[in-house]
Structures are given as C-alpha cells and as structure tokens.
Amino acid sequence: THFGFETVAEEEKAKKVGQVFHSVARRYDLMNDVMSAGLHRLWKRFTIETSGVRSGDRVLDVAGGSGDLSRLFAKKVGPTGQVLLTDINASMLGVGRDRLIDDGAAVPALQCDAEKLPFPSNYFDCVSVAFGLRNMTHKDRALAEMHRVLKPGGRLLVLEFSQVWSPLKPAYDAYSFKLLPIMGKLLANDEDSYRYLAESIRMHPGQEELKQMMLDAGFGRVEYHNLTAGVVALHKGWKY
Ligand code: SAM
C-alpha cells in the first residue's frame, strides 16, 4: 500500500517464521511424529516414490529443515546424482545437517531463502518443498524461483497441508486449534509456536488454489493427489 503497511506485515511474518522455527528446531522431529501420528513419514515416502527421480538426477530440497526428503532422495539419485538440502533457518538447517552426517548421507546443506535461490537457471531435475511453502512471505516469488532453477522437463513437488474433506473438517479443526497447542505446550513447552503452525495451516490455499498458483508461475501439467482425506496434498508441476 501507499503507507507501506504490507511491507511491515511481510517483515513481521518473516520474523515470526524465523522465531518459530528457531524455537521448534530441536524438538521438530519428535513433534512431527507425535502430531501426525507418524503419518508424515508415509506422506514423504509417497512423495519420493512417485517423484520419478532416478539415479544421477540433481535434486534441490527447498525449506528442507531436518532433511527427511533429502535423505530419501540421496538414496534414489545414488553416487552419480546430487541432492542439496536448503533452508532459510540456521537452527533447522543445523539439525538437518547433523542428522544427515549421522546417517552417512552425502548431502551438502546450504542456508538460503527460497525467494532468492542462489543457483543457476535450468539446473535441477527435481525441486521439492515439503511443508515449507505456507511459511513463505511471497509464495509467487518462491514458485517462480523454483521454476527458474529447474531444467526444462524437470518437476516441482509441493507437499503441504491442504483442505481436508469437508465432513472431517470439524474434527480436524478441533484437533489443530485445541489439541495441537496443548501438545506443543506439553511436549515442547512452546504453545505459541504450535498455535502459529495451526493458524498457518488454516490460512494456506486449498488444492485448486495452489494448482492455479503453480500454473501462474509457469508450470505445466499441474496435478495433485490428496493424502489422508486432504489433510495433505502433493502437487506436481512440470517445467517446459
Ligand atoms: N521440509 C521439512 C519437513 O518436511 O520436515 C521441514 C518443514 S518445516 C515445517 C518448514 C521449513 O520452512 C522451516 O525449516 C523453515 O525454516 C523453512 N522456511 C520458511 N520460510 C522459508 C524461506 N523463505 N526459504 C526457505 N526456507 C523457508
């Protein structure tokens, strides 16, 4: 706006996201398992198994946090391929890098903002972003950047919370708004961060809206799969 309100709000969001992920980093993996009852592992495995990534491919994991997708991708691409773990948050990236080293995975970790990726154009066969897009201030810029760094024929995978099947919505809302902050308090002593996470899930665009955003960013053949009744959706789009 004329008065710069948008800019202030944007800065606030980026700052809040930074604080939240700094605060949850140490307990992030445990909380993921507890809050999703282990389902996030299945969602991630589905993402990898349907990714089409092959031996020798170059994969960029954006907002990769503690590195779950990177670790699985590293097995797919093998020694001739390349996987890069990236995240804007040093605390999350630190946890991810340590875990990958412990697992013996050869995955470099790099701190960078998805909205300004420090990579050449037309470089990667696959870009993934799991549970990261909803935290970004300018999703359109991030999608445009992911499109830029992909090779023609390469694909973007977006795994993200989505619109749950409507009959389940009341139960799901009760879970995310009431139970999630309580679990955050009990397990991580961090009610606020988990309240933010519930809020960010509710605000995130649904399946069709995200599909349109990907089309607007230049992706073709955009499709999505609902997982667990739409709690999560996996969107795929190709660069031509
Ligand atoms: N991909 C991991 C997973 O699925 O477990 C981590 C997901 S975590 C919920 C979201 C991550 O997005 C955080 O690590 C956060 O730092 C990162 N993030 C938020 N905004 C970002 C941005 N603009 N660029 C890169 N990463 C960002």
Residue carrying structure tokens 């996030």:
40
Q: What is the ipTM of this complex?
A: 0.99
pLDDT reading at 1 higher than 50: no
Tens of pLDDT along 115-161?
999 999 999 999 999 999 999 999 999 999 999 999 999 999 999 99
> 25 CA distance to ligand 1 centroid (A)?
10
| Ligand 1 residue neighbourhood (C-beta within 6 Å) | 17, 21, 63-66, 68, 87-89, 92, 113-115, 130-132, 135-136
Is 113 labelled a binding residue?
A: yes
Tell me which residue of 141, 90, 92, 87 sits closest to 113, measured CA to CA.
87
Alpha helices in the chain (DSSP H): 5-24, 28-35, 39-49, 68-77, 90-102, 139-149, 169-174, 180-188, 191-203, 207-216
SS3 238: strand
Tens of pLDDT along 36-72?
889 999 999 999 999 999 999 999 999 999 899 999 9
146, 129 Cβ separation under 8 angstroms? yes
Which residue range is the domain that position 45 belongs to? Answer: 5-238
Q: Which residues of 222-239 are buried (b: 16+ CB within 10 A; e: fewer)?
A: bebeebbebbbbbbbbbb
Tens of pLDDT along 103-119?
998 899 999 999 999 99
> Count of alpha carbons within 13 Å of 72, Cβ hemisphere only?
20
State mean pLDDT over 13-38: 88
Which ligand 1 atom lies nearest to the CA of residue 29? Answer: 5
Is 87 labelled a binding residue?
A: yes
Domain of 64, CATH number, reads: 3.40.50.150
The count of structural domains within the chain is 1
